[in-house]
Amino acid sequence: MSLLSGKRLLITGVLTRGSIAFEVARQAQESGAEIVLSGFGRGMGLTTRAAKHLPDPPDVLELDVNQPADLARVAAELDARWGELDGVLHAIAFAPPDALGGGFMNTPAASAITAFETSAFSLKALAGALAPLLETGKHGGSVVGLDFDASVAWPVYDWMGVAKAALESVSRYLARDLGPRGVRVNLVSAGPIETIAAGGIPGFDQLASMWHTGAPLGWDTRDAAPVAAAVCFLLSDHARAITGEILHVDGGFHAMGAVVR
């Protein structure tokens, strides 16, 4: 039996074929899952085009994760379609330009709040809206979010780094509150991958270059497959006793105290 055979999944955050979420969707389908994608606003066209390149082009639902009405509508559509949900990938993050790039001390509160709401609070909003569907499965449901190590301060990452620290905390509180309902919540802390989102971070190349010398296993910023494989594992029944975890998929960079080669 395939890893995700019979699973029904919602995958957010697919914009292009180079995105981590797209690779998750591709691997999930190849592992036996039935999937639906979500897109938002001007990105809906990109998501719809990317969906056509998947092995079995899925439907795309419009979802602004900051709008309770959208969350309720998507939950209702998934309920009508499947009556239950086995897992969801939260691959949603955004920070205004003035919240990134090295101007940390000058970022206005409104921009920091936007980064928090879209990148961290949205995990709670999405999980809460879908919890009634996620708790119905034999082995419960799985919520997986994409993270970037928030235990340290990074160059140029600024308030997105703060938002990721909040995301990590939100995931632990969700694991506490949803665990009794059979829903597990985990994050995958990925090394830097060249995506549209990464391209919006001033100085991303500077940040990513640290992995070339600091990751003992090496790291390919163009290959999202190892990250997606970890997500699919956490969405599977093999991870049914794991919650509140942050799984690092970064070539081992996070564990090193100094450059290794």
What are the catalytic residues? 157, 164
* Residue 2, CB-side half-sphere exposure with 13 Å CA sphere: 13
Beta strand segments in the chain, E: 8-11, 34-39, 60-62, 87-90, 141-147, 183-190, 246-249
Cα–Cα distance, 202 to 261 (Å, whole number): 26
User: Which H or E run contains 132?
Assistant: helix 122-134
Contacts 24+ apart (CB under 8 A), 42-46: 43/15, 46/15, 46/16
Which residue, among 4, 24, 129, 111, has the nearest Cα to 66 in the 3D structure? 129
